[in-house]
Amino acid sequence: MYAIVDIETTGGKFNEEGITEIAIYKFDGHEVVDQFISLVNPEREIQPFVVNLTGINSKMLRDAPKFYEVAKRIIEITEDCILVAHNAQFDYRILGTEFRRLGYDYKRKTLCTVELSKDLIPDQASYSLGKLVRSLGIPVTDRHRASGDALATVKLFKLLLAKDTSKNIIQQSVKLHKKNKLDSKFLNILDTLPSVTGVYYIHNAEGDIIYIGKSNNIKKRLNQHFTGTNSKSKKLQRLVSTVTFESTGSELVALLKENEEIKQNKPLFNRALRRSIFTHALYSFVDENGYINLKIDVADGRKKNITTFTNRQSAKSFLTNVVEEYKLCQKLAGLYKTKTSCFSYDIKECAGACIQKETPEAYNKRVNALIEKHSYVKKNMVIIDRGRDIDERSAILIENGVFKGLGFVNLNYQINNIEVLESIITPMENNRDAQHIIKNYVRKNKRLKIINFN
């Protein structure tokens, strides 16, 4: 659990400042579950430059509560939370100073979104909150007011959590909140999980990730783990201490994140999933007569394929359908072995490429249309799918045929501006498994929105 904080102060000498406004959003890693926002009477003068910056003046604070009147609420809302702020050292120091004046030793673990941003979003022109969120296309209102800045920090932190593919942030959080009760632990864990699409992480008592999985219904999938009787399920049941999750909305995003994070984190019980997840591929070659032939073969990473499949049967089923859709020759597609004409020609459904009756140019035009649709070699495009919320979309970026990464957007501006999109996305490895996942998903989901760009 995180308490995302922003504080406005009077300015002045070090450790003599007073709080003029405070905003705290309690964030569970997915959504805001509680909040506290208040002006505060600092009982001291506000520096003129601060008044100009924030618009908060002494007259506005005359009837506001003093710090001791809001101190209890601050303690309660940040209890058992990691304090998150943009330049956390400042906000934590100010809170500590105010509590010391009351004789209370206020201690919390902290995370700084400036430091996290430098690590996870490198090479930004500026890491000040305003310039950083603007460069990422994150909307911000009431700049230099506690509520507006804290809410922008919530959105930034949500983006940073998504970019943290090594899961260092969440593992540190789990280590801070170790659960000691083992009785009814499965029911307690299931109570915290939603029935949504996403990726889940099973942690041991030390907070280490021992298994990563993906599901269209996380709660249901974990219930299967906890009630399973096979060897792996029993081992997971014995070692599980906590389960965290990341909602993705999109199954494609969940598949890609699972693939990337298993390879990065190498969890103990994901060994079987580290191997390639596809076995066969569709290839093309030009024969001695100039016709493009299609061939299903065992997947070979050294050869360029059109698309890939989890088994030979699914490859053959796909090829049978596209031969019919594009009016291709069964013989040239490798579906009908013969030295003469194919069966489709005999029933007048093939134009005769199998016996050189149709010209290579006319036939190859249809084959190339098939290849163009199902291969993204040298393509620049963004695949748009569901997001985590109703007003959000996921975006999968492909540049020059290379999968670059994925992210979440709220505004069309973030999609249409490629520089902003590149800043938002979580970079991912363009491996064969990722390519297969994308091709397979696009092939099966014909209603996906795909934006091509130059």
Q: For Cα atoms 193, 199, 201, give the angle at the middle one, nearest 5 degrees.
A: 70
Res. 359: pLDDT tops 90? yes
Interior angle at CA 4, CA 265 and CA 137, nearest 5: 75
Q: Which of 96, 95, 98, 133 is nearest to 113 (CA)?
A: 133
d(CA 216, CA 219): 9
* Average pLDDT over every residue of 370-380: 84
Side by side, which strands form the sheet with 280-286? 292-298, 280-286, 307-309
Q: Write down the pLDDT at residue 183.
A: 40
Q: What are phi and psi of 141, to 5 degrees?
A: -120, 160
CA gap 430, 450 in Å, rounded = 19
* pLDDT band at 272; cut points 50, 70, 90: low
**pLDDT band per the 50, 70, 90 thresholds, residue 243:** very high
CB 152 within 8 A of CB 5: no
Contacts 24+ apart (CB under 8 A), 225-229: 226/186, 226/189, 226/190
In this structure, of 146-150, 180-184, 190-194, the range with the lowest mean pLDDT score is: 180-184
pTM value surpassing 0.75: no
Query: Phi-psi region for residue 297, left (φ > 0), alpha (ψ -120 to 50) or beta?
Result: beta
Query: What pLDDT is attached to residue 173?
Result: 67
H-helix or E-strand spanning residue 377:
none
Chain length of the chain: 454
Is a pLDDT exceeding 70 seen at residue 210? yes
Q: Report residue 439 as tokens.
A: 């091709």
